[in-house]
Amino acid sequence: MLPYGRQTIEDDDIDAVVRVLRGDWLTTGPTVAELEQQLSLLSGGHDAVTCTSGTAALHIAYAMAGVGPGDQVITTPMTFVATASSASLLGAEVVFADVEEDTALLDPAAVASAVTDRTRVIAAVDYAGHTADYKRLGKIAADAGALTLADAAHSIGGLHHGRPVGDLADITTFSFFPTKNVTTGEGGAAIFKDADLARQAREFRGVGVVRDPSRLRISDEGPWHQEVHAFGLNYRLNDIGCALGLSQLARLSDFKARRAAIVERYNQAFSGVEGIRTPTRREGVDPMWHLYPARILGGRRREVFERMREAGIGVQVNYIPAYWHPAYEDLGYRRGMCPNAEAFYAEELSLPLYPTLADADVDRIIETLIDILDRPRRAEGAPRRATH
């Protein structure tokens, strides 16, 4: 089965990890700082704080933004649930605003009508690797005294009118899960424009421990002394993962180019084909394509999904609207809230997309899909015609 996403591991990656394994540091050593420096360079020079996953990065981001009971976080339902659930876990009320009909990105107009004086964070997702409209979202957030968060789990390396992902929102989060654009095994990072929030985030991901002698409040304990000023968790990414991440980042532009070439091949092949709609790309956006979200029209998404899988092609659906999860249903969220997101979900089918996917495989995926669209499976129980 061709997977829908897959890591790219080469000898450089293996050598980088082995070098760390032969060295003195397995956990927080020099490689963590090196990866954070590279992530910072990539993100407009802002502080980067690595952590154990994209979900941890979101949890850190919301916690540092001060999100808690009584606050609202406005976000998109067209995402992996962690974008919303990490805020819910902190006691905030998550408000789902609808997405744009074509891009499936958080719609600034929907956000503007959802904003209140309790809105603390407006969290967009760069769905499929295409950046959201942070210019408009940032204006709404600034007027409301809220922060913008970019869940950039899909979009590291992308650009918006020449500005890099990481420089578009107040806080940006990355995921380094194997199917994402670069991997550390498991891992993530949060980028902060506010250096003070970044410092707090660094302490939070290290159980809240303060070591900086100039900040210690108890001064006469002895040289071993370290202390906690605010509670934290152990969300530290280790040197092993960071070595892999550094080696991966060195090939980020190769990955981006190959992903873009595959997207272009799909777009060309499907243009003018009935029953399928190709992804939208806004002017000025240079996406880091993580997904190829095709739309299967005519109510045939499930049938096409099943037949592609039968043909050994690992398609996927990204995503069920976040508020359909029973955890949100239990909180009173109901279907119908965000019609654009629900309509998008009903048609969405992610085709395989990863740098090592060969052109021959892309062509087989295209041919198989067009063939399925040409020949609808006869309805259940319909009479079979004899073939002579």
> Given the rule CB under 6 A, which residues bind ligand PLP?
53-55, 79-80, 82-83, 125, 151, 153-154, 175, 177, 188
CA angle 126, 150, 267 (to 5 degrees): 10
Separation between Cα atoms, residue 318 and residue 83, nearest integer Å: 14
State which residue, 172 or 247, has the beta carbon closest to ligand PLP. 172
Strand ranges for 235-329 from DSSP E:
276-277, 285-286, 292-296
**What distance, in Å, lies between the first and last C-alpha atoms of the chain?**
33
Separation between Cα atoms, residue 167 and residue 182, nearest integer Å: 19
Separation between Cα atoms, residue 165 and residue 361, nearest integer Å: 30
Element (H, E) at 159: strand 159-160
- In angstroms, what is the minimal distance from the CB of 359 to ligand PLP? 26
Report which residue's Cβ sits closest to ligand PLP.
Answer: 54
State which residue, 270 or 345, has the beta carbon closest to ligand PLP. 345
State which residue, 54 or 206, has the beta carbon closest to ligand PLP. 54
- In angstroms, what is the minimal distance from the CB of 52 to ligand PLP? 8
Cα 34 to Cα 38, 40, 148, 247, 380: the distances in Å are: 6, 10, 27, 11, 58
- In angstroms, what is the minimal distance from the CB of 381 to ligand PLP? 39
- In angstroms, what is the minimal distance from the CB of 166 to ligand PLP? 15
- In angstroms, what is the minimal distance from the CB of 219 to ligand PLP? 39
Q: Quick count: other Cβ atoms within 10 Å of Cβ 52? A: 22
Q: Tell me whether residue 253 is exposed, middle or buried, using C-beta atoms within 10 angstroms of its C-beta: 0 to 12, 13 to 18, 19 or more.
A: exposed
- In angstroms, what is the minimal distance from the CB of 321 to ligand PLP? 13
State which residue, 58 or 365, has the beta carbon closest to ligand PLP. 58
Q: Tell me whether residue 134 is exposed, middle or buried, using C-beta atoms within 10 angstroms of its C-beta: 0 to 12, 13 to 18, 19 or more.
A: buried
**AA identity, residue 141:** A
- In angstroms, what is the minimal distance from the CB of 78 to ligand PLP? 9
State which residue, 205 or 300, has the beta carbon closest to ligand PLP. 205
State which residue, 4 or 270, has the beta carbon closest to ligand PLP. 4
Q: Are 370 and 296 in contact (CB under 8 A)?
A: no
State which residue, 111 or 276, has the beta carbon closest to ligand PLP. 111
